[in-house]
């Protein structure tokens, strides 16, 4: 676990990775380690949101997985499939996309709730 946090800190400070890549790798590795008997998913999502706050300005909800109206169960299914791709197949493209889209949708939701309107 310490190694994961050290490598994540190093990746963010060196700037060799894009923020969403660092977040994707952290999420997949943390959940693979599975350090707690319960609450690993929630803890991982909170930690990823904390990692991203410097880049996103708002907390990121990873269950905002698509702009299409998915049910909570469908969103969870997408999340688990994307996580499988990253952890087992070492393909982070879909997880990167999920994090980017979740970031966009979280920011959009934040602005809607603030009632910030486009002055056009």
What range does the domain containing 38 cover?
A: 2-114
**For residue 34, pLDDT beyond 90:** yes
Give the active site residues.
Answer: 34
The structural domain count of the chain equals 1
Q: In whole angstroms, how far apart are CA 97 and each of 6, 86, 102?
A: 24, 12, 8
On average, the pLDDT of the chain sits at 87
More confident of the two residues 58 and 7: 7
pLDDT bin (cut points 50, 70, 90) of residue 73 is confident
| pLDDT of 68 above 70 | no
Whether the predicted model's global pTM rises above the 0.85 cut: no
Do the beta carbons of residue 106 and residue 60 sit within 8 Å?
Answer: yes
The answer to whether 41 and 31 have CB atoms below 8 angstroms apart is yes
In a domain, 119, yes or no: no
Q: Can you give the CATH number for the domain in which 98 is found?
A: 1.10.3290.10
Distances (CA, A) of 60 to 1, 41, 51: 23, 14, 10
Between residues 56 and 31, which one has the greater pLDDT?
31
C-alpha distances (whole Å) from 87 to each of 55, 83, 119 are 24, 6, 44
């Amino acid at each position: 676990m310490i190694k994961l946090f050290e490598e994540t800190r190093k990746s963010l400070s060196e700037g060799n990775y894009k923020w969403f890549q660092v977040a994707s790798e952290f999420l997949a590795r943390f959940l693979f380690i599975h350090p707690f008997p319960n609450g690993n998913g929630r803890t991982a999502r909170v930690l990823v949101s904390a990692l991203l706050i410097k880049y996103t300005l708002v907390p990121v909800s990873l269950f905002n997985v698509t702009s299409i109206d998915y049910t909570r169960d469908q969103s969870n299914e997408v999340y688990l499939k994307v996580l499988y791709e990253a952890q087992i197949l070492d393909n982070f493209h879909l997880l990167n996309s999920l994090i980017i889209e979740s970031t966009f949708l979280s920011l959009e939701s934040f602005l809607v709730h603030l009632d910030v309107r486009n002055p056009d």
